[in-house]
Amino acid sequence: MNIIISASPFTEFRRQCEKLLQKTLEKTLPDLAAYKVTLEIPPNPQFGELTSRICFEISKHLSETPIRLAKQIETEANLGKSEFPMIESVEAAGQGYLNFHVNFPELSSLTVKSAKTLDGEYGHVKTESPEKIIVEHTSVNPVHPIHVGSARNSILGDSLARILSARGHKVFRHYYIDDVGRQSSIVAYGYKMLGRPRPSAKPDHFIGAIYAITNCLLEIRRLKALLNRQTGSLNYNNMQKARMDLDDWVAVAVDLQQRFPNIFNSLLDAMEKIEDPESEINALMRRYEMGNKEAVEIIREVTSICLEGFKQTLKRANIFFDSWDWESSFIWSNAVAKCLNSLKRTPYVFHRGDVLEFDAEGVARDLKLKSTFGLKETYEVPSLTLGRSDGTTLYTTRDIAYSIWKFRRAEKVINVIGMEQKLAQLQLKLALCALGYAEEAKRLIHFGYSLVNFPGQKISGRRGRYITLDEVMDEAVLRAYEEVKKRSEDMADEEKRKISEQVGIGAVKYALIETDPLKPVIFTWDRVINFERNSGPYIQYSYARACSILRRASRHVEDADFSLLKEPVERELILMVARFPEVFVEAADNLKPNIIADFANALADKFNTFYAALPVVKAETQELSDARLLLVNAVRITLRNALDLIGIEAPERM
């Protein structure tokens, strides 16, 4: 049963070990042959390439120690291993482990040839049950630029989409344009007061300034009015809080005035003449939802300007979407109203004052959904307000209609949204259940991640307090260019620029993807722009070194004697390349892009060790050189394919 190539070489070894173990069990301990055999990666090469703890398990049922059972199985297994060419030997060890040693020449040959033949597809093992999956990500409100915090969303979402697509799913990348919220009305209002100016900077940066300033001036007015109106109704604590908020916003105003004096002063002048800007904004929001021509024109105009900026940023980051979904379209098509009406017919909607509330707790309790959604039975789900008293809609309500729309196009929906929206996503799922979409709700996945913040301070779009992804990419690319210049003076400037783009952006992407999404990230320039070990550029550099070796060899090798690869580091490299497909499957099926980043980094590490220790082109013999060249090629392909999954480009020189 000699296999020439495999989508997952290490899995072939795993299967053979499983079969051998199963057969041996049937022979030696027939009563326990039904035992499910599982194999794990041992912590150290001396314990082989796969290990089983089955003897610890079965010894519980027999009056025999694990190690004695292991010895018994060892003897029998070694007698029966001849029909399994990938197994070198089986040995009992420690307190009762069964360690399986791989036949390295076999594994090497299979791995190297598989990588070479499958090339761009190596490691991207296809699922047996492909699904249509919508990945909704980024969806930054179109009122300020994409900042480093939202960039974490974009990069995670893009990577998830790449991984699921490589897994063989039909993936659709959707951007949800929130043009209906209050924030859009605020920025449109400010834009209108400025006389609908043409952007004097990058479109989204320009809109971001208008938004932050308008919002800031509104907040200051509101707080001043609150404090003046005073006092009997406000207790001491509320007064204190309002005063502190006001101080905070005044500081923001000072900052914004300094950064954008023209916009700030124009808006300040214009706004002072307005009696009640707050109600004008509310009116704009109301008219927009009703489809009023003027309101639609102004809000769509502002939103489009901002989106134009997003598209520039995302294009540079090599992130693309299949669909841009306008939230307003779900209101204008009456989809939101229909949803609301259906919800009203369930027993889970009640009045509170002027507004309707959705009894999320009631649904969870009656339909016994608490354990389904991982909730404690004693936890009471807060109710959800479905609309404003002026008749306008609220975000989560609109999201119900949008979710149903998404499920008409896909079997699974993954929403990449910050952890802070966990409750809203839960309420959304419960609303879907109430409407009879329980199966859909179970296939709605909230891929949550924690925020990126500054040391001691939060990122805040509303305060204009952020570092844009554009700035971060600019700075990273600039620093990368300095490095490239140092190393490759003779290179054409155009190529230097291209490589700097790839390296700088690779650094940023890696930094935002390598940390477990559940953990908060504190932004520092050195964290996000790192070119040393454990970084995107480090992996890219390793890839470039592999390319360089193959270039220098300047000969084509078809096959080689892989038994010549005897050095421990060579074997570890083979193993990592062989295991890449299993790592990929784990990352894809558990939605864990960061383990791809981890793997790529570990492989780069191992490759650099190999690079420093062993000559390839000038190996002792031509035969050894051939075998190493094929190994380098397999590593090269694996590094590139792993980088591709996290959206990082692989330059052949740097």
Partner RNA sequence: GGGCCCGUGGCCUAGUCAGGAUAGGGCAUCGGCCUCCUAAGCCGAGGGUCAGGGGUUCAAUUCCCCUCGGGCCCGCCA
459-518 binders of RNA (CB under 7 A): 480, 483-484, 486-487, 499, 503, 514-516, 518
Rounded-to-integer distance, Cα 643 and Cα 547, Å? 15
Strands 323-326 and 132-136: unpaired
Nearer to RNA, 258 or 489 (CB): 489
In terms of Cα–Cα distance, which of 524, 593, 466 is closest to 146? 466
Site for RNA in 529-548 (CB under 7 A): 531-534, 537-538, 541, 544-545, 547-548
In terms of Cα–Cα distance, which of 602, 651, 606 is closest to 504? 651
Q: Which H helix or E strand runs over 71?
A: helix 66-80
Residue 390 touches RNA, criterion: CB under 7 A: yes
Nearest distance from C-beta of residue 558 to RNA, angstroms = 19
Given 423, 457, 478, 563, the residue binding RNA (CB under 7 A): 423
Q: Which listed range, 215-223, 226-234, 559-567, 591-599, lies at the site for RNA (CB under 7 A)? A: 591-599
Given 127, 231, 389, 621, the residue binding RNA (CB under 7 A): 389
Q: Tokens standing for 581?
A: 């497909």
Site for RNA in 181-220 (CB under 7 A): 181-183
Give me the helix-helix angle, 104-118 and 9-28, nearest 10°.
140
Residues 313 and 469: beta-carbon distance below 8 Å: yes
Residue 369 touches RNA, criterion: CB under 7 A: no
Nearest distance from C-beta of residue 609 to RNA, angstroms = 4
Nearest distance from C-beta of residue 258 to RNA, angstroms = 26
Q: Tokens standing for 636?
A: 């090269």
Residue 620 touches RNA, criterion: CB under 7 A: no
In terms of Cα–Cα distance, which of 654, 567, 639 is closest to 603? 639
Nearer to RNA, 257 or 594 (CB): 594
CB neighbours of 151 closer than 8 A, spacing ≥ 6?
A: 317, 452, 469, 472, 508, 512
In terms of Cα–Cα distance, which of 473, 476, 480, 509 is closest to 497? 480
Nearer to RNA, 508 or 544 (CB): 544
DSSP assignment letter at 563: G
Nearest distance from C-beta of residue 65 to RNA, angstroms = 10
Nearest distance from C-beta of residue 518 to RNA, angstroms = 4
Q: How far is CA 509 from CA 189, 280, 512, 532, 645, in A?
A: 35, 41, 5, 14, 11
Residues 398 and 330: beta-carbon distance below 8 Å: yes
Nearer to RNA, 64 or 121 (CB): 64
505, with CB counted inside 10 A (0-12, 13-18, 19+), is buried
Nearest distance from C-beta of residue 601 to RNA, angstroms = 7
Rounded-to-integer distance, Cα 353 and Cα 338, Å? 22
Site for RNA in 15-44 (CB under 7 A): 42-44
Given 450, 498, 557, 591, the residue binding RNA (CB under 7 A): 450
What residues are paired with 100 via a beta bridge? 50, 90
Nearer to RNA, 3 or 557 (CB): 557
Nearest distance from C-beta of residue 394 to RNA, angstroms = 4
Residue 557 touches RNA, criterion: CB under 7 A: no
Residue 71 touches RNA, criterion: CB under 7 A: no
Rounded-to-integer distance, Cα 11 and Cα 3, Å? 12
Q: Which H helix or E strand runs over 132?
A: strand 132-136
Residue 283 touches RNA, criterion: CB under 7 A: no
Q: Which listed range, 208-216, 306-314, 434-442, 592-600, lies at the site for RNA (CB under 7 A)? A: 592-600
Nearer to RNA, 110 or 596 (CB): 596
Nearer to RNA, 3 or 591 (CB): 591
**Binders of RNA: how many residues, by CB under 7 A?**
97
Residue 653 touches RNA, criterion: CB under 7 A: yes
Name residue, tokens 């070796």.
549
Site for RNA in 143-172 (CB under 7 A): none
Rounded-to-integer distance, Cα 513 and Cα 592, Å? 10
Nearest distance from C-beta of residue 543 to RNA, angstroms = 9
Nearest distance from C-beta of residue 1 to RNA, angstroms = 26
Phi (first) and psi of residue 417, to 5 degrees = -145, 145
Nearest distance from C-beta of residue 331 to RNA, angstroms = 11
Residues 98 and 21: beta-carbon distance below 8 Å: yes
If one counts every other C-beta atom within 10 angstroms of the C-beta of residue 420, the result is 10
Q: Which listed range, 29-37, 127-135, 174-182, 640-648, lies at the site for RNA (CB under 7 A)? A: 174-182
Q: Tokens standing for 110?
A: 């299979």
Nearest distance from C-beta of residue 357 to RNA, angstroms = 8
Site for RNA in 76-105 (CB under 7 A): 93-95, 97, 99
Nearer to RNA, 79 or 613 (CB): 613
Given 196, 552, 555, 566, the residue binding RNA (CB under 7 A): 552
Nearest distance from C-beta of residue 262 to RNA, angstroms = 27
Residue 609 touches RNA, criterion: CB under 7 A: yes
Q: Tokens standing for 293?
A: 């021509």
Residue 355 touches RNA, criterion: CB under 7 A: yes
Rounded-to-integer distance, Cα 428 and Cα 404, Å? 11
